Amino acid sequence: MQSDDMVGENGAGGAIFWAIAFVGAMFGAGIFARVIDLNEFWSMAIMVPPMLLLFPMVKVAQKRQQAVCGNVSPAIIAYNRRMLIWSFSYMVTLFAAIAVYNQFKPTGPILWVIAVLPALPILYFVWALRRYLVEETDEYIRMKQVSAALFATGLLLVLATIWGFLETFGVAAHVPAWAAIPIWAIGLGVAAAFERVKGNAQ
C-alpha cells in the first residue's frame, strides 16, 4: 500500500496537481486576456502570476524524488534551477520585445534584434537539457528524461505535420512557428506525469 506522502503533497499526486494548475492558469490567463480584449502589455503581465506556480511544482517534484530514491540528484537540482531561469528569461525577453516594439516601432536591423530576442533563451534551454544528460550519473533517471524528451519531440513532429497538412488544404488556421516550444514543453510535462503515475501504480 502506498504511503500518504507518496500520493499527497510530496508524491505523484502533488506533482500532477501543480502541473495541471500551472497549465490551467497559463491557458486561463490567455483566454481571459482575449475575452476582455487586453492589449499586448497587459496580456503579457497577467501571465506572470501563473509562472510563479513553477516554484511549488519543482519543489514537489524534488521532494518526491527524495521520498522515492532517498536523495535528490544534484543534476536534477541544477537542471530545475536552469529551467526556472530559462522560463522567466523567456517571459522577460518576450515582454520586453513586445513593449519596445509597441512603444518605438523600430525598423531595419533593430527590428530584427527585437524579433529574435525572445528566442535567445531557447539556446540556454537546449544547453541546459544537454548539460543535465551529461551531469546525471543515475542511468535510470537519465533514461527516463531521455524518454520524456523523445515523447515530447515525437508529439511535436506529429502535431506539426498534421496541422501543416490541414493548413495546406485550407481547413485550419495558421499557427506561428514559435508555438513549437510550448507544445514541446507540454509534451515533456505529459510524459513526466505519465511516468510518475505509472511508477506510483506499480
**Amino acid 168: pLDDT:** 95
Q: Is the dihedral of CA 146, 13, 32, 94 positive or negative?
A: negative
Give me the residue spans of the domains in the chain: 1-71, 73-136, 138-197
**Amino acid 21: pLDDT:** 84
pLDDT digits (tens, 9 = 90+) for 85-136: 988 898 888 888 888 888 889 999 999 999 999 999 999 999 999 999 999 9
The total of other beta-carbon atoms located within 10 Å of residue 64's CB is 23
pLDDT digits (tens, 9 = 90+) for 128-155: 999 999 999 988 888 988 999 999 999 9
The pTM is what?
Answer: 0.71
pLDDT digits (tens, 9 = 90+) for 42-84: 777 787 888 888 888 777 776 766 566 656 788 888 988 898 8
- Are the C-beta atoms of residues 150 and 137 closer than 8 Å to each other? no
Give the model's confidence band at 12: pLDDT under 50 very low, under 70 low, under 90 confident, else very high: low
